[in-house]
Structure 1
Amino acid sequence: MKKSLLLLGTFFTLFFTACEGPTGPPGFDGRDGENGFDGREAQVFEVDDVDFSYISEDNLYESILVFEDFTSFEVLPNDAVLVYQYDRTVEFQDGSQDDVWNLIPQAFFTNEGTIQYTPGHTTKDVEILISGNYDLSNLETQFTQGQLFRFVIVPGQAATAKIDKSSISAVMSSMGLTEADVLKASFK
């Protein structure tokens, strides 16, 4: 039995050693692709002084921002456009500060009822609406004038990734973006 196991072990050693041959010639180098997902990186831009116009027949406020007015980044149909509304700057005990950004849709509760900011986008523009469950014709200007928004355009492949989209910091970090990458513009 020991001889047959030794013979079998020797056979397998010779067989597997014999299957290895000399290394072949190296293949050709492929072309380098662009950085990012499908050759595209994410884009982030900030627009200040966004004003909304009241549309009485629909009882809502609307603001439409055309991408080419703020960025040359091409938005494709499968891209995600995340819209964040600036809330305030907070100061920490150590004296440092940080901005608070809220992903919209975002609801606010007023004395009259509830209003909600909601975004929608095409490949050309993004529309932000303010709708509510009461007559919005006299909505306070703190909700309709001089708003500050950040837009993160996430390429389609990356948009399906498991990212905490409620945190603009997490989204920017996962896309390799920093504050220095934020393009800043004014709506007016």
Structure 2
Amino acid sequence: MKKSLLLLGTFFTLFFISCEGPTGPAGFNGRDGEDGFDGIQGQVFEVEDVDFNYIAADNLYETVLTFEDFTSFPVEANDAVLVYQYDRSIEFDNGSVVNDVWNLIPQSFFYDEGTVQFVPGHTTKDVEILITGNFDLSALDASITQNQIFRFVILPGNAAAAKMDKSNISSVMSSIGVTEADVLKASFK
């Protein structure tokens, strides 16, 4: 008798699991993507000749770059804006390949006088980069505050949450399908 009830219960369970109900309501229309682009959408642009202005009242240097001056790519509230500072170019031993070194900021530098830090912040309209420190920055060398080069990577919110090595700009660009040839380049001046 127990086997019969178990068999009958199994039959009814399978019967009800295999039933299909009515189709639910259609979802909302999303934003149209770029035709033929698969994967994570993002953009990379580079700005050279970036100069910082000293603000004596706060003992810091500041520069603000407005996104629309460099790209038509919309920046949403949940997007991440990664800021990389150009450090130098490295030529390998064979002399044939040169690679650029980009450092993700915030980044600290240590001098005899104290510590200096490059710190980014952004809204949907612009990105602000500050140079802060724990000593009087008014006499900071122009090689630190003038003619800097930065790369900005705009990652949509879903990509920003993805597990990728964000400290490595090559890895990030590869993840979003951007090559060196795709980088938009502009001058701040």
Q: Please report the TM-score for the alignment, with normalisation by the length of structure 2.
A: 0.80
How many Å separate the matches in 2 of 1:47 and 1:146? 10
Q: CA deviation at 1:138?
A: 0.5
What is the SS of the residue equivalent to 1:169?
Answer: helix
Counterpart residue number, 2:114: 113
8 Å Cα contact 1:36/1:42 also seen in 2? no
Q: CA deviation at 1:94?
A: 1.9
Render the CA deviation track for 1:151-188: whole Å, top value 9, x for unaligned: 00000011000010000000000011100110000000
Identity of aligned residues (%): 68
Q: CA deviation at 1:112?
A: 0.7
Render the CA deviation track for 1:109-143: whole Å, top value 9, x for unaligned: 11211000000000000000000000001000011
Counterpart residue number, 1:126: 127
Counterpart residue number, 2:84: 84
How many Å separate the matches in 2 of 1:52 and 1:123? 21
Render the CA deviation track for 1:6-52: whole Å, top value 9, x for unaligned: xxxxxxxxxxxxx9xxxxxxxxxxxxx62456xx7200000000000
Counterpart residue number, 2:105: 104
Counterpart check, 1:174 vs 2:179: no
Counterpart residue number, 1:10: none
Counterpart amino acid of residue 111 in structure 1 = D
Counterpart amino acid of residue 58 in structure 1 = D
Q: Please report the TM-score for the alignment, with normalisation by the length of structure 1.
A: 0.80
Counterpart residue number, 1:30: none
Counterpart residue number, 1:162: 163
How many Å separate the matches in 2 of 1:78 and 1:36? 20
Counting only pairs closer than 5 Å after superposition, residues 68-83 of structure 1 correspond to structure 2 as: 68-83=68-83
Render the CA deviation track for 1:60-114: whole Å, top value 9, x for unaligned: 0000000000000000000000000000000101211100000000101112110
What is the SS of the residue equivalent to 2:72?
Answer: coil
| Unmatched runs of 5 consecutive residues or more in structure 1 | 1-18, 20-32
Q: Which runs of 4+ in 1 moved over 4 A?
A: none
The Cα RMSD (Å) is 2.2
| Unmatched runs of 5 consecutive residues or more in structure 2 | 1-17, 19-31
Counterpart amino acid of residue 111 in structure 2 = T
How many Å separate the matches in 1 of 2:48 and 2:42? 20
Q: Which one has a bigger Cα radius of gyration? A: 1
Give the count of matched residue pairs: 160
